[in-house]
Amino acid sequence: MVEKLKAKIRDIPDFPQTGIVFKDITTLLQDGAEFRRAIDSLAARYVDGHVDLVVGIEARGFIIGSALAYKLGAGIVLVRKPGKLPYKTHRMEYQLEYGSDALEVHHDAIPEGARVIIVDDLLATGGTVEAVVKLLNHFKCEIVELTFLVELTFLNGRKRLADMPVHSLIQY
Ligand code: AMP
């Protein structure tokens, strides 16, 4: 099954900059049967996990995250780029290769004791999801797992997230 999903993901060399091979998942999303298969297999892992909320990371994490949330009967929480959320937010700055960026979440997005999974399309160096984990320190919630459609294992994101449970469906 993983091989069929892999066949649907397109490599774009030198995007967005020279030396990066961008994993384009739009070709997978366009295939209804394969998209459903991907979501169903991620969801199967959590059906008995009593997940209250899926935390999706802008923007492709929203696509995977909301489909997963629907399947699990869970809510979805949006972690967004600065200035996008309309209400009071918590904010976490994080370092990129060049410069820094930030992510925000509504300050009342997650109730105490909620069981959450954090979802993004792809785990690369782990910097983004690490920032989201720190952002969630504002809440007294339980992070069940960090889950990804794709993992670039050679970038050792898991090492950076050493004390967190991490799952991915497709590995390169
Ligand atoms: P990182 O913080 O390094 O783990 O990067 C993860 C974020 O950047 C995710 O939101 C991915 O969508 C995006 N990303 C990083 N590298 C790639 C890649 N090679 N192909 C597609 N998306 C990527």
Whether residue 91 contacts residue 104, with contact meaning beta carbons closer than 8 Å, is answered with: yes
Over residues 146-168, the mean pLDDT reads 97
pLDDT, tens digit (0-9, with 9 covering 90-100), for 58-100: 999 999 999 999 999 999 999 999 999 999 999 999 998 778 9
Q: Return the pLDDT at 16.
A: 94
pLDDT, tens digit (0-9, with 9 covering 90-100), for 105-119: 999 999 999 999 999
Domain spanning 50-171 has what CATH number? 3.40.50.2020
Residue boundaries of the structural domains of the chain = 50-171
CA 151 to CA 158: how far, in whole Å? 9
Q: How far is the CA of 164 from the centre of ligand 1 (A)?
A: 18
126 ligand 1 Cβ < 6 A:
yes
Provide the greatest CA pair distance for the chain. 44
Q: pTM for the whole thing?
A: 0.97
- Residue closest via CA to ligand 1's atom 12 equals 122
- Residue closest via CA to ligand 1's atom 5 equals 124
CA 108 to CA 31: how far, in whole Å? 36
